[in-house]
């Protein structure tokens, strides 16, 4: 038996609805496979938890999580709890403490999903964005001065280290090198941001020397964003700093059908710490518990988790089944269908059963 | 006679080709109108100039420019001259010294142009992005440390001042307030960038109090980028910091037909200094002088310049004529047509003549 442990943090709102289906699909697959067992532990850390306890998770939260193989997170956020509380109290500390320095977001149009781009199909939209997930523009270093006067001002530092830059670039070059296209696009803005971005470019060129087969293009973030719309078919692997990656991945999600579908994986490649898998969509409290949330992103996350475990066959079966269901049009209201959250999950399970 | 003076800086590559047509269209319009006269002075400042003189413009370049009503710039950039030379030696000093703190980019689908977004027409794509153009993430403050060692790192400061923030927000609120939709979207990232962005948000809320009729939405840049693709029809005026505005405007250009078409205006609203009008596209040295560059952006820029002069009637006639020509399909090769740069300019002149 291959054994894995997962910390479940459904969080708030529809996070709870979609993680339930994701878990169901995972469980069904394990049962079908027979050779894999998953142990779950459920945590109610969320904004609701915050309203009761004054914090998003217990003080020893990270310590509790640290020995799991992975964290499966729904969404956090609730009206009345400021963003910076829910994020800096849970999401961002997990990413940083567990050295989840890689954020992977596939920009892949699933079968059955319509792109908002004219005349673009599954063959045009299939690449991966690797986002630096620990440093850069999200340094939290900076401050404010002269508040309350005419001279009021704020400064924020972007911090790029060799350590942080090399490791994300190596990961991205590795990924590009393993593929058939072997083409890496690195986002920059060295024409306008004249310290950190030339530094980044320099390391792109340096690491490239260790991957002579990978063709590399360094593209300014403004142009690159526009190319996601005008020529998304040219990309293979895209690597970007924390902020640029944040922007590109949401944009990537948009061109393949929107946030409701997009998964993300926060990876500690060394597996020294747990990695975290979370849908990109938020907690959408207005539709929570109504059975209409789309669990596609959560299921896709589960399949990325299997990939991370090295279970690529099972991961492929799950994605295949998911796309079969989408293609048959048995979809939730956001995609124009009538299926409930639960029915959709059930259909994916049914499809998987048919493949064993 | 209304009199205006324009400094022409065609710059490099196709900058020369398109400014020639833009000037021709302007001249024709003045002739037709009869009540307006424009005096031009031509400057050969460019990368070519740099290769001869070791600088992009003379040391007293800004002093020479300062009394013109406006600057009409083609494009700068040439292989062999690094970006930071051509930009920091010409474009960025002009923007800053002349307090061109407003960068206006219309995200408007012209009649006759196809959007890459499925099922989106001229009614869906019609809003304006106001970008802060002087400070923020382009501070040029920062540096590098421990170079050549494992601890090598770079830091860049984003600097947001009350002065710089309030003036761009006021401009944007004013613009929104003058329109019928009265809807302002402000780009932020205060959930991840925790000093400068909450500062920005605070001023958005504060200035909003002076414009009670303007409905305001503060949206994170990642989500906002995706909304440019998934629901571009909701926007009216969008205001953003220097970097976020840079990204949003290129993205905006992409959804309305690409960089070949997009104009930009760098405005000093007080008219204490000249404003600068420049196509967003680059110098494209590979196609320079071949008669195939698309002068649409340059002509659009000329019409924005007329607007800035207060000649809104003439500006409207120019834009109308431009769109008539585009709609008739008499377009340059980049838009699938056979017209040369010159023929296209000539057609626009012909259309204008028919309107007098
Ligand atoms: C060339 C570059 C410095 C510039 C910018 O980022 O401001 C350009 O992208 C623009 O938008 O005008
Ligand atoms: C919520 C926010 C801090 C976060 C980020 O910017 O990293 C989110 O946008 C994401 O992409 O996961």
Q: Which of A171-185, A202-216, B199-213, B277-291 has the lowest mean pLDDT?
A: B277-291
- ∠ at Cα B310 (B306, B316), nearest 5°? 55
**Closest C-alpha residue for ligand 1 atom 8:** B246
Q: Phi/psi class of residue A10: alpha, beta or left (left: φ > 0; alpha: ψ in -120 to 50)?
A: alpha
d(CA B353, CA B356): 6
**Closest C-alpha residue for ligand 1 atom 12:** B280
Q: Is B156–A192 a contact, with Cβ atoms under 8 angstroms apart? A: no
Closest C-alpha among B16, B6, B8 to residue B36: B6
For residue B4, the cross-strand partners are: B38
Q: For residue A198, what is the nearest residue in chain B, using CA coordinates?
A: B154
Judge residue A225's burial from the number of C-beta atoms within 10 Å of its C-beta, 0-12 exposed, 13-18 middle, 19 or more buried: buried
Closest C-alpha among B299, B341, B304 to residue B22: B299
d(CA A245, CA A101): 12
Question: How many whole angstroms from A220 Cα to the centroid of ligand 1?
Answer: 9
Residue B84 has pLDDT above 80, yes or no: no
Locate B74 and state its tokens.
């083609």
B156, B196, B250: residue with CB nearest A222? B250
What angle separates helix A14-33 from helix A341-353, to the nearest 10 degrees?
A: 10
- Atom number, ligand 1, closest to the C-alpha of residue A223: 9
Closest C-alpha among B87, B143, B139, B172 to residue B243: B139
**Closest C-alpha residue for ligand 1 atom 10:** B246
d(CA B6, CA A221): 32
pLDDT reported for residue B240: 98
CA B105 to chain CA centroid, Å, is: 5
Please tell me whether residue A333 adopts helix, strand or coil conformation.
Answer: helix
Locate A57 and state its tokens.
């998770």
C-beta separation of B291 from B340 below 8 A: yes
Locate B27 and state its tokens.
């001249």
Strands laid side by side in the B102-108 sheet: B36-42, B2-11, B70-75, B275-279, B263-267, B102-108, B126-132, B237-240, B183-188, B215-220
pLDDT reported for residue B11: 96
- Atom number, ligand 1, closest to the C-alpha of residue B250: 11
Instruction: Indicate whether residue B246 lines ligand 1 (CB < 6 A).
Output: yes
Profile chain A (356 residues) by mean pLDDT over runs of 10 residues.
96 97 97 95 95 94 97 92 84 93 97 96 97 94 95 97 98 97 97 94 98 97 96 98 97 91 96 96 93 97 97 97 97 95 98 96
Judge residue B225's burial from the number of C-beta atoms within 10 Å of its C-beta, 0-12 exposed, 13-18 middle, 19 or more buried: buried
Set of chain B residues whose Cβ sits within 8 Å of the Cβ of A114: 118
pLDDT reported for residue A88: 85
Look at the block and give the residue holding tokens 């393949």.
A256
pLDDT reported for residue A80: 84
Question: How many whole angstroms from A170 Cα to the centroid of ligand 1?
Answer: 29
Q: In the predicted model, what is the mean pLDDT of residues B257-285? A: 93
Q: Is A246–B192 a contact, with Cβ atoms under 8 angstroms apart? A: yes
H helical segments located in A71-161: 83-86, 92-97
CA B254 to chain CA centroid, Å, is: 14
What is the enclosing helix (H) or strand (E) of A279?
strand A275-279
pLDDT reported for residue B204: 98
């Amino acid at each position: 038996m291959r054994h894995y442990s997962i910390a479940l943090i459904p969080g708030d709102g529809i996070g709870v609805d979609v993680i339930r289906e994701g878990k169901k699909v995972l469980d069904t697959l394990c049962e079908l496979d027979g050779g894999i067992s998953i142990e779950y532990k459920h945590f109610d850390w969320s904004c609701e938890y915050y309203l009761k306890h004054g914090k998003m998770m217990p003080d020893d939260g990270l310590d509790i999580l640290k020995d799991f193989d992975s964290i499966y997170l729904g969404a956090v956020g609730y009206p009345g709890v400021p963003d910076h509380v829910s994020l800096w109290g849970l999401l961002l500390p997990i990413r940083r403490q567990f050295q989840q320095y890689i954020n992977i977001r596939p920009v892949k149009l699933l079968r059955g999903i319509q792109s908002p781009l004219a005349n673009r199909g599954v063959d045009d939209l299939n690449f991966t964005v690797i986002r630096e997930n620990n440093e850069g523009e999200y340094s939290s270093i900076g401050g404010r001065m002269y508040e309350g006067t005419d001279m009021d001002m704020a400064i924020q530092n972007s911090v790029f280290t060799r350590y942080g830059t090399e490791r994300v670039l190596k990961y991205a070059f590795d990924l590009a090198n393993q593929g058939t296209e072997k083409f890496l696009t690195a986002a920059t803005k060295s024409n306008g941001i004249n310290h950190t971005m030339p530094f980044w470019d320099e390391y792109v060129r340096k690491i490239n020397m260790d991957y002579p087969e990978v063709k590399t293009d360094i593209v300014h973030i403004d142009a690159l964003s526009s190319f996601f719309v005008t020529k998304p078919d040219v990309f293979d692997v895209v690597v970007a700093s924390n902020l640029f990656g944040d922007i590109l991945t949401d944009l990537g999600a948009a061109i393949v059908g929107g946030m409701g579908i997009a998964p993300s994986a926060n990876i500690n490649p060394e597996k020294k710490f747990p990695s975290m898998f979370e849908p990109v969509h938020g907690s959408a409290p207005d539709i929570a518990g109504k059975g209409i949330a789309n669990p596609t992103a959560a299921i896709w996350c589960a399949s990325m988790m299997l990939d991370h475990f090295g279970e690529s066959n099972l991961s492929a079966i799950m994605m295949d089944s998911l796309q079969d269901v989408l293609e048959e049009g048995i979809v939730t209201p956001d995609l124009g269908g009538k299926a409930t959250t639960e029915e959709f999950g059930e259909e994916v399970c049914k499809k998987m059963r048919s493949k064993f």
